[in-house]
Every structure is written in structure tokens, then in C-alpha cells.
Chain A
Amino acid sequence: EDQVTQSPEALRLQEGESSSLNCSYTVSGLRGLFWYRQDPGKGPEFLFTLYSAGEEKEKERLKATLTKKESFLHITAPKPEDSATYLCAVQDTGNQFYFGTGTSLTVIP
């Protein structure tokens, strides 16, 4: 059973076209939800940690939100340099981590 599901698998946006990426999870007890950005051939880079439903975090054009069953990564007015794969990971109360397969974002100038 998948613990973390990310959608869509791939997303193409025009520069300035805002959108959202989804991360849904099914772990029984959430300790934390993490968002990472990964550029091709590089390791994932930490973006945000969310711990409880209703929490929001922002960084430049990115905003992460959390509910009891899912998290959204909102991208406002994206630029080509925002193109990357965005990974979601969930840590349960047993300290197990589960990663999603990522959303590949392409922002077209």
C-alpha cells in the first residue's frame, strides 16, 4: 500500500501561470511532512517541514499547506528556474519515512 502519492507526475506551466502540486498520505500518525526540490543529477534540497493540519510555510514563490490527509505546494507566478522535481516525504510516529515519486515541473518561458 502506497503511503505517499504525489500528483500530477508531470506538470508544464507557462511562466507566470500559478498552480499547485498535491501530496496525499495514508500514514496512521503523522510526525512531519517534508517538501524537497530536486534538480536533475543532484540530491534533493530541503524546502519545508509541516507538522500539523492547518500549518502553512512560505518561501519566495512557494507556499506549502497541510491538511489531515494531504499537502499542497502552491507555486505562484513561477519562473523557468522553478523547473525541478518536487518530492514529498512523510514521517510517521514510528519515525519511518515514506517518499512520494515526485512531480516533475517544467516552467516554459
Chain B
Amino acid sequence: SQTIHQWPATLVQPVGSPLSLECTVEGTSNPNLYWYRQAAGRGLQLLFYSVGIGQISSEVPQNLSASRPQDRQFILSSKKLLLSDSGFYLCAWSIRLYGYTFGSGTRLTVV
């Protein structure tokens, strides 16, 4: 079966510290992978998507970056976190762009 793993579930980081969130997918090959951020009352904001290894598209210019070192691995990073980076981050995958399967999410609090 196809599953998606995202970790950690919660993270508290000081301002200016680095960030690395990881997402892996099982049971499928060459999925489209996505990072979303969800803010209360504002819906889901697409941050990055990837259609293949090393292929990253950014939707919103910001303090974050993404990488896809392997077919089923998607990483969200930052060199220096800002307070405004706090939020709920979701990894998702899709095959042929027909709907998403989401990970369990990471609650990031920057203090």
C-alpha cells in the first residue's frame, strides 16, 4: 500500500536556527511531491513541488528551500528560521495529479 511518512510531528526552534523537515513516500514510484503550509483560517499554501529527483519548483519566495535527493524523499529546509516561519507544514504526494495524499504534518513553532 502507498504511505507517506513525515517527521517530526512537532518542533520548537529558536529564531535564526536551521530547519530540516523530511518526508518519504512508500509504495509508489516517481510521485509528484509537495510541501504545503497551513495557517489558521487561511487554508493551504503551496510552498514547493517536485515532479522528479532534483526538480524543485517554488511557488512562494521565502526563507525556505526544498530538495529531492531521492525519488521518494522530499526535504524542506531553512538556514535561518524567522518567527513568521511558524506554522503547520504538510507533505503530500500525487500520481498523475489526481488528488493528494497528505502526511500527518509538522507543527513548527519558532520562538
In chain B, what residue has the closest Cβ to A6? B43
| Interface residues in B67-111 (C-beta closer than 8 Å to A) | 88, 90, 92, 97-105, 107
| Interface residues in B17-50 (C-beta closer than 8 Å to A) | 41-44, 46
In chain B, what residue has the closest Cβ to A49? B99
Q: Is the CB of B103 within 8 A of A43?
A: yes
Interface size class of A (residues with CB under 8 A): 20 to 34
Cβ-Cβ contact count across A and B, 8 Å cutoff: 44
Counting CB contacts under 8 A, is A86 at the interface? no
In chain B, what residue has the closest Cβ to A102? B43
- A87-B44, A97-B46, A101-B43 are known contacts. Are A43 and B98 too (CB-CB below 8 A)? no
Counting CB contacts under 8 A, is A91 at the interface? yes
Contact pick for B105, options A43, A46, A89, A100, CB 8 Å: A43
Q: Is the CB of A46 within 8 A of B100?
A: yes
Chain B residues with CB under 8 A of A91: 97-99
In chain B, what residue has the closest Cβ to A9? B41
Contact pick for A99, options B6, B43, B97, B104, CB 8 Å: B43
Q: Is the CB of A44 within 8 A of B43?
A: no
Binding site for B on A (CB under 8 A): 9, 32, 34, 36, 41-46, 49, 87, 89, 91, 95, 97, 99-102
